[in-house]
Amino acid sequence: MPGWPIRRLIKDGLASPDQAFATVTSHAGQRRLETLSSRAAQAGLKVGQSLSQARAILPGLLSFPATPAEDAQALTRLGLWCQAYSPLVAVEPPDMILLDMTGALHLHGTRQALLAGLAARLPGAQLALAGNAARARAFARFGVSEPVDEVAALAALPLASLGLNERVEAALRRLGVRRVGQFMRLDRGELTARFGTAPVRLLDQAMGRLTEILRFLSAPPDWRESRHYPEPLLHAEALLHALGVLAHILCTRLGEAGLGLRLLQAQFFRADAQMVTFDIGFAAAMRDEIRLARLMAGKIETIDPGFGIERICLAALEVAPLRERQSGLDGADDSNRTAALIDNLSNRLGVGKIWRIAPAPSHVPERAVMKQGPLDQPVWPVCEKPRPIRLLSAPQRIEVVAPVPDHPPVLFRWRGAVHRVRAATGPERIAREWWRHEPSAERPEAEYLRDYYQLETEAGQRFWVFRTGLHGFAAAPRWFLHGWFS
């Protein structure tokens, strides 16, 4: 994608193709041109020129700050869309996308048909199809689309096509090496001795003698079903029907393998080179296509089809073993029903909104419970100590009248209201977990110890309050409200 930042500016509507504009970066306080629009290049501007010089040549030059990170993100998005052609796509900023077409070429007809199709969808892209990544890179960069003899074509290309570093390339040019063919004829041992192993390695990769490691975008999952639609889909009904067909195929395949879905991603490849997705998670592994269709129907409204969707892919990102089970005579299975409800709610509410309360190994009240997954079955011990039904996450200060040293309060004031205590039990002493946190005067949970009392007021309401600190010490004891019994 030559001039990718320029293309982005045009696509975002910040500049028009018939304007002269450029992106600029600042080097040591001086702003220099980085990429040029075609009109700017025609005017004789050069990459690396300072902006003030360029303005002197072309007074109407528009400049935009270069945004390499955003450009790379946009290129990644385009790369995701390219997964419609091949599952293995590598993105190389600033402007290169590599598609591994091994084994996927026949799906697109001939090589010419593939190149023509891509050229029609990505106008302005320089496309090349070659035997390995290094050659494809070189051919795309220098505009050779599909040579008959790849080695000969490579030999004819300038040295820059190999992607050597600048210092090596300049040194070789001083020696009179201009073409890849000349470079090939040099002695390997001498090259290594003079420039290190990198130049020879690059040459070997281009010649196919050495494999190259590419960083592909998210490795495609094993369980995916995709289908191409010659007529782009626009309506929710059509999309749902297509998803239903794919879900049927996927669930049948999973059933044959004895697997169930845990996490499913539906990917929609739009006609305007964008990919949109939604995810569906499952509490328990499942492969019920009717339930799946119902969940997808709830999610489909989040998908913006743009100008139409050309390809849909259902990818099972996580699978788990799932055996067939005998269902009850009434057809409804209790655990199945619960799992279906959890899926329904969690896909509506989001992650982490459904849980079971489980005991945690701590005697500090607010740490004695934790959340567990909705299908877990925590085991609760029998609790002998009185515990409230509602617990405040942060204890609140109360003002208390209580006989010293450790009697329960006679009355207390909370939020401006005075409560007279009719009956009380306590204290239950709970000490700080010294291995967890340092003692702190601000945080009541970090005090050395708390004495808990259960208080019943004259209205019959029951409060759980505690005192931190002891009488006769430097700091006066303080009282907190921590929960309600009834």
Partner 1 sequence: MSFPVYFMFSSATNPLATPSCADHLALFQGGQIHEIQPADEDEQEAASATCFAVTVLARWLAVQRADLPLIWVSGQADLYGPGLAMLGLDPARLLMVQASDDSVALACLEAALRAGLSGLVESAAFGRVAGRRLALAARVGRAMGLVLRRRPHGAKKLSSESDSFAVSSRWRIEATPSLMLPGRSPGRPCWRAEILYARGQAGGKNFCLEGAYHGTDALAGHRFAGLADPPADQRRFGIA
391-450 binders of partner 1 (CB under 8 A): 391-393, 422-425
CB 386 within 8 A of CB 485: yes
Of 278 and 463, which has the nearer Cβ to partner 1?
463
**Taking the complex as a whole, how short is the minimal distance between the CB of residue 410 and partner 1, in angstroms?**
11
Of 178 and 353, which has the nearer Cβ to partner 1?
353
Of 159 and 455, which has the nearer Cβ to partner 1?
455
d(CA 63, CA 414): 64
Select the span of 50-58, 138-146, 239-247, 366-374 touching partner 1 (CB under 8 A).
366-374
Helices 188-195 and 166-174, axial angle in degrees (round to 10): 120
**Taking the complex as a whole, how short is the minimal distance between the CB of residue 197 and partner 1, in angstroms?**
58
Residue in this structure with the two tokens 């039990």, named with its chain if needed = 425
Closest C-alpha to 469, from 445, 455, 454, 451: 451
**Taking the complex as a whole, how short is the minimal distance between the CB of residue 291 and partner 1, in angstroms?**
11
Select the span of 134-142, 233-241, 370-378, 472-480 touching partner 1 (CB under 8 A).
370-378
**Taking the complex as a whole, how short is the minimal distance between the CB of residue 246 and partner 1, in angstroms?**
26
Q: What is the 3-state secondary structure (H, E, C) of 12-50?
A: CCCCCCCCCEEEEEEECCEEEEEEECHHHHHCCCCCCCE
Q: Where are the alpha helices (DSSP H) in 208-288?
A: 236-257
457-476 binders of partner 1 (CB under 8 A): 458-463
Of 11 and 385, which has the nearer Cβ to partner 1?
385
Give the contact letters, 320-359, x = binds to partner 1 (CB under 8 A), - = no. Answer: ------------x-x--xx-xxx-xx--xx---xxxxxxx
Spell out the residues 6+ positions from residue 320 whose beta carbon is closer than 8 angstroms to its own.
259, 260, 262, 285
Q: Where are the alpha helices (DSSP H) in 108-197?
A: 111-121, 133-141, 150-156, 166-174, 180-185, 188-195
- Phi/psi of residue 441, nearest 5 degrees: -75, -25
**Taking the complex as a whole, how short is the minimal distance between the CB of residue 486 and partner 1, in angstroms?**
4
Q: Is 1 helix (H, G, I), strand (E, B) or coil?
A: coil
Q: Is 452 helix (H, G, I), strand (E, B) or coil?
A: strand
How many residues of this chain bind partner 1 (CB under 8 A)? Answer: 54
Residue in this structure with the two tokens 């010659």, named with its chain if needed = 230
d(CA 288, CA 416): 57
Closest C-alpha to 270, from 310, 224, 243: 310
Of 237 and 458, which has the nearer Cβ to partner 1?
458
Of 26 and 425, which has the nearer Cβ to partner 1?
425
CB 203 within 8 A of CB 184: yes
Of 102 and 326, which has the nearer Cβ to partner 1?
326
Closest C-alpha to 199, from 220, 173, 231: 173
376-395 binders of partner 1 (CB under 8 A): 377-380, 382-384, 386-393
**Taking the complex as a whole, how short is the minimal distance between the CB of residue 272 and partner 1, in angstroms?**
33
**Taking the complex as a whole, how short is the minimal distance between the CB of residue 280 and partner 1, in angstroms?**
16
CB 283 within 8 A of CB 375: yes
Give the contact letters, 261-290, x = binds to partner 1 (CB under 8 A), - = no. Answer: ------------------------------
Of 440 and 461, which has the nearer Cβ to partner 1?
461
361 binds partner 1 (CB under 8 A): no
d(CA 182, CA 158): 10
Give the contact letters, 110-129, x = binds to partner 1 (CB under 8 A), - = no. Answer: --------------------
Of 417 and 476, which has the nearer Cβ to partner 1?
417
Contact footprint for partner 1 (CB under 8 A): 332, 334, 337-338, 340-342, 344-345, 348-349, 353-359, 365, 368-369, 371, 374, 377-380, 382-384, 386-393, 422-425, 454, 456, 458-463, 483-486
